[in-house]
């Protein structure tokens, strides 16, 4: 009854932590492609191929449903996977839709036409590949009209977090917020479009100011997944073992993941 969680590195652990708390009865298999992180500077074809390889490994572990807890993979690979690659009986979901549903005040599965929403000016902070894909703007356009989105590619932030250099990460976040402010001085809301960024949420909030509502993903994805599995229980796979897999050095990744979530994490080679 396992469900797979995929990320290019450690960022997806923020989603894993939330879904484990929301669905404690479900064994989750986490796959971190640490050997190839970060994805944000890779080409779309590269991201697609790496994401497909990771997804197949999670299917091998008994996960019929895989969550791409990586915004870059969700943005650059998911649509192509869904249109031409995923076989019958398997499902791959991304992390953008729950976030956009919350932003546009919609319930899951609301397929009514786009409409006016409260938020008019949205700042999107994401990796360069996510920004290039314009996937956030595309999904938003299916649900809302009249929303101005200003995207800021946050180069270096993921690398700093993965390296454990939170001082550098904070400096980079403040620099990227300043750059966004020059383009959009008064956003109504900000979207943290990378699963690494919740670790810096307080910094984003401080730099943006109290008048800007900051949307992060982990809890929104957890609630959306719980709702999905309640409606589609057949998508819980046959796997029964809780696993943490990595393409990187298991010892190093385990140490960083333990620091990341502040609880013991033991990874094995994928």
Q: Quick: pLDDT tens for 90-136.
A: 999 999 888 898 889 887 667 789 999 999 999 999 999 999 999 99
Secondary structure of residue 118 in the 3-state scheme: coil
DSSP class of residue 127?
A: -
- Whether 194 is catalytic is yes
pTM here is 0.88
- Whether 154 is catalytic is no
89 φ/ψ sector (left φ>0, alpha ψ -120 to 50, else beta): left
From 52, 63, 70, 154, the catalytic residue: 70
pLDDT digits (tens, 9 = 90+) for 137-159: 999 999 999 999 999 999 999 99
Domains of the chain: 3-95+218-269 (3.40.50.1860), 97-215 (3.40.50.1860)
Confidence band for 1, pLDDT divided at 50, 70 and 90: low
Query: Comparing C-alpha atoms, which of 86, 101, 76 is closest to residue 4?
Result: 86
């Amino acid at each position: 009854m396992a469900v797979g969680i995929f990320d290019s590195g450690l960022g997806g652990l923020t989603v894993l932590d939330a879904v484990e708390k929301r669905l404690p009865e479900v064994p989750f298999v986490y796959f971190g492609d640490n050997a190839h992180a970060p994805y944000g500077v890779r080409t779309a074809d590269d991201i697609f191929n790496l994401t497909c390889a990771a997804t197949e490994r999670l299917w091998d572990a008994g996960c019929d449903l895989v969550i791409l807890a990586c915004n870059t993979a969700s943005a650059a690979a998911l649509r192509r996977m869904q249109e031409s690659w995923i076989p019958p009986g398997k499902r791959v979901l991304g992390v953008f839709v729950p976030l956009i549903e919350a932003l546009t005040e919609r319930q899951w599965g609301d397929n009514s036409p786009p409409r006016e929403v409260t938020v008019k000016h949205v700042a999107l902070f994401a990796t360069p590949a996510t920004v290039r894909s314009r996937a956030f703007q595309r999904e938003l356009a299916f649900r809302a009209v009249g929303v101005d989105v200003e995207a800021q590619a946050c180069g270096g932030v993921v690398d700093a977090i993965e390296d454990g250099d939170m001082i550098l990460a904070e400096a980079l976040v403040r620099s990227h917020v300043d750059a966004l402010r020059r383009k959009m001085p008064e956003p109504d809301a900000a979207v943290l479009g990378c699963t690494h960024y919740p670790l810096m949420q307080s910094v984003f909030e401080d730099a943006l100011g109290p008048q800007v509502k900051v949307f992060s993903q982990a809890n929104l994805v957890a609630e959306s997944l719980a709702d999905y599995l309640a409606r589609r229980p057949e998508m819980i796979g046959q796997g029964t073992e809780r696993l943490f897999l990595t393409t990187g050095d298991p010892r190093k990744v385990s140490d960083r993941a333990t620091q990341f979530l502040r609880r013991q994490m033991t990874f094995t080679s994928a």
